């Protein structure tokens, strides 16, 4: 590539921001132009529930970069500008100024797409009556969401979404809140609304909460706590309709009931936001999978070698699954941006950095429970590889020796492949924080550590922190059959017989 390549970055959130920083640090001579349709960048969407739940009042801390900082690094940043089309042969992009509606043509040597994901509005591929606002029978358009939602129904992704939720929540007439979707976003917002003393109903078509992240041994605890807090769990129900009254949502109807609502959150998941890479006939100009995720190689190049893609819009290598899948996490977005920022100006293939893949490591803290997971749950691993191809072991124990004044329980599950014995996943849960332990299992999956090696990993012992057989070592010893529960049990001389 020429000494001063022109690199255009579309999308300046977690992936795009990191890519810009990496480009300017590794190749200060590069011409870097960035566009984002929003008027802010680097918003931490995972903080929305904390803001809604009044953990803080000043939202400035939810941003870790801004236009001024990136400009100082040498990038030309353009907010309120949306990519509407591109021509890979001519290496040109059509950009629309969201304020003036002016359309300009931008050129590039290399293009980086960090176009992200967007909340699903048609779960199961079905349009939900009452979700989208109409006027005289015509769908009402909206710059923020593309289409205007019925008054009282909200998405949760952008800074503006959080502002709208909080403004609506603060209205005195808002008493009853319905959340659609029992994934991370939905559960966290349920807790936020509960803390704000609202009557909360949670609806999901699955039979339990967070089923793709955790097995039943972990989700049951959280569900029990939520029910005891007064949250109505309407699980195993299919959303059918939003009923409106006086031009705003008033009820949510499912196949099993109808629930009053003054405010509704639509949080049923996300899809890659990749419509823009399709031509006028709807044909993708770069390779997409069936869900619309962009296929990339280990350097994040797409099927067009001059176009890279990063963040939530791509399929990323899962080391547990051994294939590329769409795992939309901010941590993954940052790493894809970093590697792409390093690689995009490299002319020597030997100098490029190959991405090692991810494990989908995640955690959540809700209703007094602190859960974390990496790789695949037992349910997911069984569905992917076959139940007869995997094994799992669940273990729970107190953390400290019995002579310590305070103690608590921790749960762990380890999942592995029968044939290779390699670790496929792990889950940990407690009312106390043991989440950092999951990083060890993330590395184990990356390095293809086997279940037989875990008991021999060098781990410290000190009564202030654990037992001689800590819960990880104990679970692995029992899983491999090297020792029995009687062998590892720490006798409690204080327990009354």
Q: Active-site residues: which are they?
A: 14, 46
Among 418, 430, 420, residue whose Cα is nearest residue 471: 430
Which segments of 344-412 does DSSP mark as H helices, in order? 378-385
Among 356, 361, 164, 343, residue whose Cα is nearest residue 266: 164
**With b meaning 16 or more CB within 10 Å and e meaning fewer, what string describes 268-299?**
bebbbbbebbeeeeeebbbebbeebbbbbebb
3-state DSSP percent of the chain in helix, strand and coil, to 5: 25, 30, 45
Contact 390, 348 (CB under 8 A): no
Among 62, 287, 290, 306, residue whose Cα is nearest residue 160: 62
Residue 316's alpha-carbon distances to 80, 358, 360, 394, 466, in angstroms, are: 28, 7, 10, 29, 36
Residue-wise DSSP of 150-186: PBTEE--SSHHHHHHHHHHHTSTT--EEEEE--SHHH
CA atoms within 13 A on the CB side of 308: 28
DSSP label at residue 454:
G
Which residues neighbour 457 within 8 Å (Cβ) at sequence distance 6 or greater? 440, 472, 473
Residue written as token pair 């949250």? 231
């Amino acid at each position: 590539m020429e000494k001063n390549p022109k690199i255009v970055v579309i999308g300046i959130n977690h992936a795009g921001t990191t890519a810009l920083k990496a480009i300017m640090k590794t190749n200060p001579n590069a011409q870097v132009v960035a566009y984002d349709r929003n008027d802010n960048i680097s918003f931490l969407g995972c903080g929305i529930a904390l803001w809604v739940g009044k953990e803080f009042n000043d939202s400035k801390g939810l941003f870790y970069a801004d236009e001024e900082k990136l400009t100082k690094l040498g990038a030309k940043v353009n907010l309120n500008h949306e990519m509407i089309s591109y021509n890979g042969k001519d290496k040109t992009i059509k950009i629309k100024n969201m304020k003036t509606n002016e359309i300009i043509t931008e050129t590039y040597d290399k293009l980086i797409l960090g176009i992200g994901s967007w909340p699903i509005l048609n779960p199961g591929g079905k349009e939900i009556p009452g979700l989208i606002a109409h006027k005289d029978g015509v769908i009402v358009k909206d710059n923020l969401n593309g289409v205007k939602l019925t008054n009282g129904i909200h998405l949760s992704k952008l800074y503006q979404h959080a502002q709208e939720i909080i403004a609506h929540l603060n209205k005195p007439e808002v008493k009853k809140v319905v959340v659609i979707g029992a994934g991370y976003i939905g559960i966290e917002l349920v807790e936020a609304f509960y803390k704000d003393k609202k009557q909360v109903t949670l609806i999901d078509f699955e039979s339990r909460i967070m089923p793709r992240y955790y097995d039943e041994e972990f989700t049951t605890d959280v569900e029990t706590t939520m029910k005891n807090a007064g949250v109505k769990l309407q699980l195993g129900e299919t959303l059918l309709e939003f009923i409106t009254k006086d031009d705003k949502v008033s009820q949510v109807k499912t196949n099993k009931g109808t629930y009053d609502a003054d405010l509704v959150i639509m949080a049923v998941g996300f899809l890659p936001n990749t419509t823009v890479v399709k031509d006028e006939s709807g044909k993708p100009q770069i390779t997409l999978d069936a869900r619309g995720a962009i296929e990339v190689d280990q350097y994040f190049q797409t099927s067009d070698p001059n176009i890279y893609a990063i963040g939530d819009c791509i399929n990323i290598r899962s080391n547990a699954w051994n294939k590329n899948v769409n795992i939309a996490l901010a941590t993954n977005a940052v790493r894809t941006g970093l590697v792409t920022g390093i690689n995009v100006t490299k002319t020597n293939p030997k100098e490029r950095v190959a991405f090692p893949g991810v494990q989908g490591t995640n955690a959540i803290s809700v209703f007094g429970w602190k859960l974390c997971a990496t790789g695949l749950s037992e349910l997911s691993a069984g569905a992917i590889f076959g139940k007869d191809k995997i094994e799992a072991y669940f273990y729970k124990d107190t953390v400290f020796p019995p002579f310590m004044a305070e103690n608590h329980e921790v749960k762990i599950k380890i999942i592995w492949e029968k044939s290779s014995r390699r670790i496929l996943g792990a889950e940990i849960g407690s009312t106390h924080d043991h989440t950092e332990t999951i990083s060890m299992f993330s590395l184990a999956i990356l390095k293809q550590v086997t279940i037989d090696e875990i008991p021999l990993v060098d781990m410290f012992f000190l009564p202030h922190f654990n037992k001689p057989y800590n819960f990880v070592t104990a679970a692995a010893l029992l899983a491999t059959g090297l020792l029995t529960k009687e062998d590892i049990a720490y006798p409690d001389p204080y327990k009354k017989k």
